[in-house]
Structure 1
């Protein structure tokens, strides 16, 4: 499946610090992966319109039932406002029924470090999980 490449809804100021989140989701079944994947474009569009969003990308491995997300935000509050808003809020609750595992990691980065690479996101997620 193709990835949804990094997009920058609102560029941060060149000297800004941004709040970055990487996540990894694994579904229990292929049907769950398809449901997750079909909901993804709507959530990506929501992020692109969200106040304080500086970037978003999705790596979808539907047949492997694994998804990685990357997003960058003005600050932690902007991310949390998005997470509590619709349709993300309802989609997250519904996805819990078919999720096997979820992992998240957060960090601050200088604006010029955007876009974050998938290698960096995967490294940070592995560190968060205690894996080398």
Structure 2
């Protein structure tokens, strides 16, 4: 299945700092992956109209049941307003039970760094997974 390449709804000011989010979702079944992918175009259309959206992309590995998202926002509030708006809100709730695993990571960067590369996003997600594993291990050892 094709990826959805980086799109820039509203370019940030050249000297701005942007708020970034990368996510990785793994679905339980192939059917769940197809459902996830079929909801993606509606979410992309929503991002293209979302106030404060500076960019977004999707890497879809449907047969591997894994999806990566990457987005850039004016600030954290713009991202959260988007996440609470339709169709993202109802789509994420409908798909929650279909998820085997998910990881999120957030950071800021200068606007000049956009678009963020997939290797950078995947590295940050791997770091977030490692941090979560270390926290879980520490909790088990308490």
TM-score of the pair, normalised by structure 1 = 0.98
* Aligned-residue RMSD, C-alpha: 0.8
Quote the offset at 1:82 in angstroms: 0.3
Which residue pairs with 2:95 in the alignment? 95
Number of aligned residue pairs: 131
Structure 1 CA distance for aligned equivalents of residues 3 and 23 of structure 2: 15
Which residue pairs with 2:52 in the alignment? 52
Runs of at least 4 residues off by over 4 Å: none
Structure 2 CA distance for aligned equivalents of residues 77 and 116 of structure 1: 20
TM-score of the pair, normalised by structure 2 = 0.91
Which residue pairs with 2:2 in the alignment? 2
Q: Any residues of structure 2 matched to 1:27-66 within 5 Å, and which?
A: 27-66=27-66
Quote the offset at 1:130 in angstroms: 0.6
- Deviation per CA, 1:18-51: give whole Å up to 9, x if none: 0000000000000000000000010011011100
Larger Rg: 2
SS in 2 for 1:107: strand
Quote the offset at 1:95 in angstroms: 0.4
Q: Any residues of structure 2 matched to 1:20-31 within 5 Å, and which?
A: 20-31=20-31
Quote the offset at 1:121 in angstroms: 0.2
Which residue pairs with 1:123 in the alignment? 123
SS in 2 for 1:100: strand
Structure holding more helix per residue: 2
Which residue pairs with 1:11 in the alignment? 11
Structure 1 CA distance for aligned equivalents of residues 20 and 45 of structure 2: 18
Which residue pairs with 1:109 in the alignment? 109
Quote the offset at 1:97 in angstroms: 1.5
Structure 2 CA distance for aligned equivalents of residues 63 and 76 of structure 1: 32
SS in 1 for 2:105: strand
